[in-house]
A and B are shown apart, each in its own frame.
Chain A
């Protein structure tokens, strides 16, 4: 079993350059309706035989113009729209927007609310990575892990339903704190889930992570070097899969992440499998963080005092970023003193991550497109906003 990169498979050796041997290239239109594009993404692939010579991702099918919509809505109404970017992990979206707005307003978030924010964001990271694990298995041809992953994810969604009534778009993290408290019943059910998932994560390793077919299929393709990952502005597990140690939770801790003891898993070669395995290990770290946060949950208020129902932040500009499930989600917010944000820009991790596809697909076999695309773990709602 050879899963190491093979030099004879390098792009320059696969693409026919001799004009005498050149035959017609073929244009393959993949998507926008394709089960493996995780939304509505179109890829224009130019093929020479079975090898890709040019890949052009075409996005925008889900563009809803949330940045523009927010310019006519009050800050509290904007939180609802943030849920719709990355709908597979909406909590960090809420959080990033609230952190930026709180910087402008100057709100001091109570400690209990901060701990709850951490718990909910990390639960959402597990839920989001479980979707990745399941659907990536399907992309590659392993159907079983999908059923397991969604069974576990369902437990998280039940917890969210208990918490705020919503399963996907929560609107739970609000300006100055959070919307609802948790009780002993919720904590017990969450602990039960944490105990349930720990052995399951080991089970996934036997089921998928170290499955020889899966390894051969993912270990030597989609390589992104360290320099290339930084130059393309990748973030999240895609950046760390290439061995760059950068995690916003460590670099610029927010919501008291500095109090929690956790590791940042790193990949080595930047292959599809490294990105995959980073996510699997991140789930273990998230379990650690949630356990620690629940163990020392402070008591007290849920919302900061003195925030108006319709806040009017003083004029100014703020930038806040969080380590969302898919990478570094940044919010640049400008206030002119009115009740609506004057301008809001989302630095969407999926949008930036997807751009690297045009480089790493060139020279790959057409059969590997799905494996490479799936390993980037994009959500088109966030790519297009």
Chain B
């Protein structure tokens, strides 16, 4: 009998008492919110070993501190070389209904089952000041670089990762650019 989205969620919830179905799912895909970082290896083992999700598609996170400030980040909003500069389109950082800004990093993993053609997303909220999550490199080699990317750009510490070093940003850059409170220090390459 083919596996369905509902089966996957039910199996995950049965194995992990602290997990729950995410209140805001990734649209059209089953999404499960884990209760604690310790749940992650158990969930990954269940997905890979028993449910056939052998394909780690994505590792990333969202910083829910609030929108980035417009001023100070982009110096020139792409002025037109021939026309007088019109006012920039208003970018309104207003939280819509159902959105609340709070200092957490919301981790997201996406696993694929290529045979059954299913995809499942796992979520986990970690505090911004101590973002520690167990690594998945032992189960999925694909996690190696993607976790390094999340470490570099968002500052998430993957405990147990064999080689957790910067991957995309240059060595002299301090801070994690995709965090919402990141302030860019001008360097010689900016001009």
Contacts and interface: CB of A to CB of B under 8 A. Distances in A.
Interface of A: 59-60, 63, 65, 67-69, 71-74, 77, 103-104, 227-228, 230-233, 244, 246, 251-252, 310, 312, 314-319, 328, 330, 332, 334-340, 342-343, 345, 347, 351-352, 354-356, 359, 384-385
Given A71-B67, A233-B55, A59 B99 contact: no
A334 B62 contact: yes
A172 to B, nearest CB: 19
Contacts of B178: 67-68, 343
Contacts of B95: 315, 336-338
13 contacts: A59-B168, A103-B28, A233-B140, A251-B117, A315-B98, A317-B24, A318-B27, A319-B29, A332-B110, A337-B95, A340-B93, A347-B58, A352-B145
A231 B141 contact: yes
Interface in B125-167: 140-142, 144-146, 149, 153, 166-167
Given A68-B178, A337-B99, A340-B67, A74 B91 contact: yes
A284 to B, nearest CB: 24
B188 interface: no
Given A318-B26, A334-B62, A385-B168, 17 more contacts: A59-B167, A72-B70, A72-B73, A227-B54, A230-B114, A231-B54, A233-B55, A233-B140, A233-B146, A328-B57, A336-B96, A337-B95, A338-B92, A340-B91, A343-B62, A347-B58, A351-B145
Residue of A67, A355, A359 with highest tally of chain B CB at under 10 A: A355
Nearest to B153: A67
Interface string B90-104: 111111111100000
A63 B110 CA distance: 24
Contacts of B89: 74, 77, 310, 339
Contacts, number: 142
B167 A315 contact: no
Which of A63, A69, A316, A342 counts the most chain B CB atoms within 10 A?
A342
B37 interface: no
The 9 closest A-B pairs by CB, nearest first: A337-B96, A233-B142, A315-B96, A355-B145, A345-B60, A60-B168, A318-B27, A63-B168, A336-B99
A350 to B, nearest CB: 11
Given A68-B178, A337-B99, A332 B26 contact: yes
Contacts of A356: 141
A337 B167 contact: no
B161 to A, nearest CB: 13
Given A103-B28, A317-B24, A342-B62, A246 B114 contact: yes
A318 B170 CA distance: 30
Nearest to B149: A351
Given A74-B89, A244-B114, A359-B141, A338 B67 contact: yes
A77 B89 CA distance: 10
Interface residues of B, number: 51
A230 B144 CA distance: 14
Contacts of A332: 26, 58, 60, 108, 110
A298 B101 CA distance: 45
B68 interface: yes
A343 B93 CA distance: 13
B92 A252 contact: no
Interface in B44-76: 54-58, 60, 62-63, 67-68, 70, 73-74
Given A231-B141, A343-B63, A330 B74 contact: no
Contacts of B97: 315, 337
A68 B144 CA distance: 22
B92 to A, nearest CB: 6
B174 interface: no
A68 B149 CA distance: 14
Nearest to B54: A230
Contacts of B68: 68, 71-72
Contacts of A384: 168
B169 interface: yes
A317 B27 CA distance: 6
A104 B26 CA distance: 10
A162 B39 CA distance: 54
B35 interface: no
Contacts of B90: 310, 339
Contact of B57 (A233, A318, A339): A233
B165 to A, nearest CB: 10
A243 to B, nearest CB: 12
Nearest to B118: A251
Contact of A342 (B57, B67, B70, B146): B67
Contacts of A314: 96
